[in-house]
Amino acid sequence: MASSCSTLLLGNSAAFASALRSLINNPEFSDVKFLVGKEQQEVFAHRCLLSSRCPAFHAMLSQAQEIQTPLILNHVQPEVFLAIIEYLYTNSITLTNLIALEVFTSSVEYGLDDLRKLCIEFIKGTLNVEQVCEAFQAAVAYEQEDFQKYCLGFIENCTQEVVQTRGFLELSELAVQTILQSNCLTIDEAKLIRAVREWAHVGSAVLGKPVREVAGAVVPGLRLALLSPSELTTLEEENRKDQMIPVESLAEAWKTHALWKGRGGMRSSFCRRRCGTLPREHHRRLDPQHK
């Protein structure tokens, strides 16, 4: 008796992909309808395909009591949702820089790891000064460490330009804290302090909170001791208007200036210069090893 054998044979993949693409948002033979975005745009899909490709959709569709009842998705824009549908049907996606970040966040929420990677690859290749803070914010919010490091590296290289963007003013407290931990920011500390003050004022207006409260967790990341005595004096005068910087922090900066002789140089992060810090006469006293 002859032994049996089997071989996997592949047909025309292009024709297969084209056939599936023709089903995207096609009401013919669809068995589930979504109302997407604020406009509640109709998007037609196929229950079995979505369920097999995405655990989040499997759970969502399993809970739907009536297949004919439209599922409402207010939190996602139609063009973003259609891009996700395209990926689920064809395993490929057409991205633009206008929707890539939203597709990325949706991919994380829906548990689509391969799509997440594709989005990150695209965003990295198209990243610019105007968009980097928004990308960094998403990376921080969704705990994407590698993506966060990449965005931070971009911010470090273009810090002076980045802090002037609207995206910087819209960063969360945690995102600003993370940026201020970097020693590689290419901006002088005096300009960085002014940028943080502007960020805090915007946050104060949006949240209806005092500037000092908005900036409370962020101010410790500012390296006030890098400022010269005359700059510290000016900063104190500016600070009387909004009290963004606690008196204790200013006092600590003055203390550092006063006690440098007895300590043989200060090497704490409070005094460490960043890449963009302009030299001041007292810096060699704060850290004799950093010339």
Q: Check residue 64 and give its pLDDT.
A: 61
Q: Per this entry, what is the length of the chain?
A: 291
Cα distance between residue 55 and residue 158, in whole Å = 40
Confidence check: pLDDT of 289 > 70: no
Q: Is 63 exposed, middle or buried (0-12, 13-18, 19+ CB in 10 A)?
A: exposed
Confidence (pTM): 0.88
Sign (positive/negative) of CA torsion 46, 52, 54, 59?
positive
Is residue 269 scored above 90 in pLDDT? no
Tell me the percentage of the chain whose pLDDT exceeds 90. Answer: 77
Per-residue confidence (pLDDT) for residue 60, from 0 to 100? 85
Residues contacting residue 207 through CB under 8 Å, at least 6 positions apart: 214
pLDDT 10s digits, 210-232: 999 999 999 999 999 999 999 99
What is the three-class DSSP state of 34?
strand
Residue 160 CA: distances (Å) to CA of 140, 189, 271: 21, 11, 20
| Rg, C-alpha atoms of the chain | 27
pLDDT digits (tens, 9 = 90+) for 88-108: 999 999 999 999 999 999 999
Gap between the Cα atoms of 187 and 146, Å rounded: 24
Q: What is the dihedral of CA 263, 267, 269, 272, to 10 degrees?
A: 120
Asked if 44 contacts 7 with a C-beta cutoff of 8 angstroms, the reply is: no
43-77 per-position pLDDT tens digit:
999 999 999 999 999 988 887 655 567 889 999 99
